[in-house]
């Protein structure tokens, strides 16, 4: 892997940046990097931040350059723990060079501006951003204390090996199509003796709720407290242990037995040798025997195999539909496959089948999106229309799917479908009049009265 950046000590020439005032205790949407080139990051400085001492920092990488989103999710925990959070506004899925430049600019800028504890540098990311975060930790061996990875793990083609130079906290939603990857990775990390933790939450392929982000940051600071003696460590551990026990008890009393089971089991493991964990161990054993926890554990395990089977079946249907010449038949075949998945995904009760179907719909979306964009690039507009048509079934509210369908259909000469797709894109929130007027994919619609009505309506607001 090509090096991303190098963490270095501040030079005398950069000390001026450390004196520049930035708001504390509030999320700043964008801090422009001194390196320029449009690089910037969202920032949260704890309200008590001062350059008089060194502070831990968490660098965040989103799959879509949404720097503020992870900063928002972590800010409450960061305020409580005293951690700086910086989220890149440039790193995104796509060519690695984009994320490489974003990471380099953000790390260098924050080191110049702030007093950072080099022993407590953490990185986090979601989906492709998680792979960026893990890649940074691998490149900067020994300079990153921990990785918090949501919805994905290591970069493609790289696997963990002992000794892993950083702690790893992974998390995935029950409906995340990358859940099997995170589960398998957790097993690998256990096998090689790495410091690791996996948390499962109810949800899709997305940044997790704030409470899961807080658990992750707590866990990182706990690992730091165990490995580096510092003033106030005993009080910090007491506070963290007590708070986690209260939260676990709250999950239990609120009828969230699986969440409580995870918390008690994690406490028993993380605080072993530091505090009396006998109550945690007892609670975890009791909950592990409960019907609700045993059922969910069984469903999570079964859902992995069922997801693999559903994905294989969908890929087969998609491949066969693309191999044929009949666009109508291809659409029908894909519609039937998606309809079956949607029915399973909408089941009222949590089950292995429902989780597998929901994950497969996300992976199907990715497959169709990549194929459709490729078809557009090759001017195979009929095949692209098949893909985007299927995507509108999976996510009827998605603006991009309807707009891309309009473009592909217009190129195919199917003006009626193109107009209807544009109407749906607008109904879902599309407002870019300039794009409608200039996009060459829509040239065949310019003379259509219905197209002009759409444009006029958007211009009127």
pLDDT tens per residue across span 340-384: 999 999 999 999 999 999 999 999 999 999 999 999 999 999 999
**pLDDT for 329:** 79
**pLDDT for 328:** 73
Average pLDDT of span 267-273:
94
- CA distances to 32, 59, 82, 328 from 41, in Å: 7, 10, 19, 46
Same-domain status, 66 and 184: yes
Same-domain status, 337 and 435: yes
- Is the model's pLDDT at 15 over the cut of 80? no
> Where is 114: in which H helix or E strand?
none
- Is the model's pLDDT at 76 over the cut of 90? yes
Q: What is the CATH number of the domain that holds 450?
A: 1.25.40.10
Q: Compute and round to an integer the Cα radius of gyration of the chain.
A: 25
| Among 208, 230, 252, residue at a domain's last position | 230
Read off the pLDDT band of 20 (50, 70, 90): low
- Is the model's pLDDT at 154 over the cut of 60? yes
Read off the pLDDT band of 18 (50, 70, 90): very low
Rounded to 5°, angle at Cα 358 from 295 and 155:
100
- Is the model's pLDDT at 250 over the cut of 60? yes
Nearest CA to 266 out of 184, 331, 170 is that of 170
Question: Would residue 296 count as lying in a domain?
Answer: no
Same-domain status, 179 and 315: no
- Is the model's pLDDT at 167 over the cut of 50? yes
Average pLDDT of span 19-25:
81
**pLDDT for 234:** 84
- For the chain, the domain total comes to 2
**pLDDT for 229:** 55
- Is the model's pLDDT at 64 over the cut of 90? yes
| Among 230, 261, 279, residue at a domain's last position | 230
Query: pLDDT higher for 233 or 375?
Result: 375
Q: 278-288 and 257-270 are packed helices; what angle lies between their axes, rounded to 10 degrees?
A: 140
Read off the pLDDT band of 12 (50, 70, 90): very low
Domain that holds residue 29: 12-230
**pLDDT for 226:** 78
- Is the model's pLDDT at 448 over the cut of 70? yes
CA distance linking residue 249 with residue 251, whole number of Å: 5
Question: Would residue 439 count as lying in a domain?
Answer: yes
Pair 259, 292: CB distance under 8 Å: no
DSSP string, 130-163: HHHHHHHHHHTTTT--EEEEES--SPTT----SS
Q: What is the CATH number of the domain that holds 67?
A: 3.40.50.1820
**pLDDT for 19:** 46
Question: Would residue 311 count as lying in a domain?
Answer: yes
* DSSP code, position 442: G
Same-domain status, 189 and 56: yes
Q: Given the DSSP bridges, would you call strands 84-88 and 116-126 parallel, antiparallel or unpaired?
A: unpaired
* pLDDT tens for each residue of 92-132: 998 999 999 999 999 999 999 999 999 999 999 999 999 99
Q: What are the structure tokens assigned to 92, written together?
A: 């995104």
- CA distances to 20, 201, 375 from 292, in Å: 54, 15, 46
Mean pLDDT of the chain, nearest integer: 92
Question: Would residue 198 count as lying in a domain?
Answer: yes
Pair 362, 341: CB distance under 8 Å: no
- Is the model's pLDDT at 178 over the cut of 80? yes
CA distance linking residue 168 with residue 397, whole number of Å: 35
Same-domain status, 220 and 314: no
Same-domain status, 66 and 179: yes
Question: Would residue 259 count as lying in a domain?
Answer: no
Question: Would residue 260 count as lying in a domain?
Answer: no
Same-domain status, 198 and 311: no
Same-domain status, 314 and 226: no
| Among 211, 230, 249, residue at a domain's last position | 230
Read off the pLDDT band of 333 (50, 70, 90): confident
Pair 334, 361: CB distance under 8 Å: no
Read off the pLDDT band of 231 (50, 70, 90): low
Q: What are the structure tokens assigned to 391, written together?
A: 């995507």
Rounded to 5°, angle at Cα 377 from 372 and 380:
65
Question: Would residue 278 count as lying in a domain?
Answer: no
**pLDDT for 327:** 63
Does the pTM of the predicted model rise above 0.85? yes
- Is the model's pLDDT at 13 over the cut of 80? no
């Amino acid at each position: 892997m090509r090096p991303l950046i190098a963490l270095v000590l501040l030079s005398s020439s950069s000390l001026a940046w450390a004196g520049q005032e930035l708001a504390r205790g509030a999320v700043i949407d964008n801090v422009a990097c001194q390196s320029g080139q449009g690089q910037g990051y969202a920032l949260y400085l704890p309200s008590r931040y001062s350059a008089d001492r060194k502070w831990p920092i968490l660098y965040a990488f989103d799959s879509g350059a949404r720097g503020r989103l992870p900063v928002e999710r972590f800010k409450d925990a960061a305020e409580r723990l005293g951690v700086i959070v910086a989220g890149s506004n440039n790193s995104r899925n796509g060519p690695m060079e984009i994320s490489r430049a974003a990471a380099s600019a953000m790390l260098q800028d924050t080191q110049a501006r702030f007093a950072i504890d080099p022993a407590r540098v953490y990185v986090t990311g979601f989906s492709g951003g998680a792979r960026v975060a893990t890649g940074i930790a691998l490149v900067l061996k020994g300079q990153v204390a921990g990785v918090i990875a949501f919805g994905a793990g290591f970069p493609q083609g790289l696997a963990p090996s002992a000794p892993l130079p950083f702690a790893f906290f992974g998390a995935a939603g029950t409906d995340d199509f990358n859940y099997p990857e995170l589960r398998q990775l957790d097993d690998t990390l256990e096998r090689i003796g790495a410091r690791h933790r996996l948390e499962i939450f109810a949800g899709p392929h997305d940044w997790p709720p704030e409470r899961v982000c807080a658990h992750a940051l707590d866990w990182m600071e706990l690992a730091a407290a165990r490995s580096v003696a510092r003033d106030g460590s005993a009080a910090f551990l007491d506070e963290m242990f007590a708070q986690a026990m209260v939260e676990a008890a709250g999950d239990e009393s609120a009828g969230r037995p699986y969440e409580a089971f995870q918390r008690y089991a994690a406490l028993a493991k993380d605080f072993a040798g530091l505090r009396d964990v006998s109550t945690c161990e007892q609670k975890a054993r009791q909950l592990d025997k409960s019907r609700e926890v045993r059922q969910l554990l069984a469903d999570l395990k079964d859902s992995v195999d069922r997801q693999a089977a559903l994905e294989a079946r969908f890929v087969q249907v998609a491949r066969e539909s693309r191999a044929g010449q009949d666009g109508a038949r291809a659409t029908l075949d894909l519609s039937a496959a998606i309809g079956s998945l949607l029915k399973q995904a909408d089941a009222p009760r949590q089950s292995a089948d429902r989780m597998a179907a929901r994950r497969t719909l996300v992976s199907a979306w990715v497959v169709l999106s990549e194929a459709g964009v490729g078809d557009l690039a090759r001017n195979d507009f009929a095949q692209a229309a098949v893909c985007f048509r299927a995507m509108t079934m999976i996510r009827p509210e998605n603006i991009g799917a309807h707009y891309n369908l309009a473009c592909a259909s217009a190129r195919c000469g199917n003006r009626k479908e193109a107009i209807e797709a544009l109407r749906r894109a607008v109904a879902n929130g599309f407002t870019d009049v300039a794009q409608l007027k200039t996009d060459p994919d829509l040239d065949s619609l310019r003379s259509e009265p219905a197209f002009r009505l759409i444009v006029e309506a958007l211009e009127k607001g």
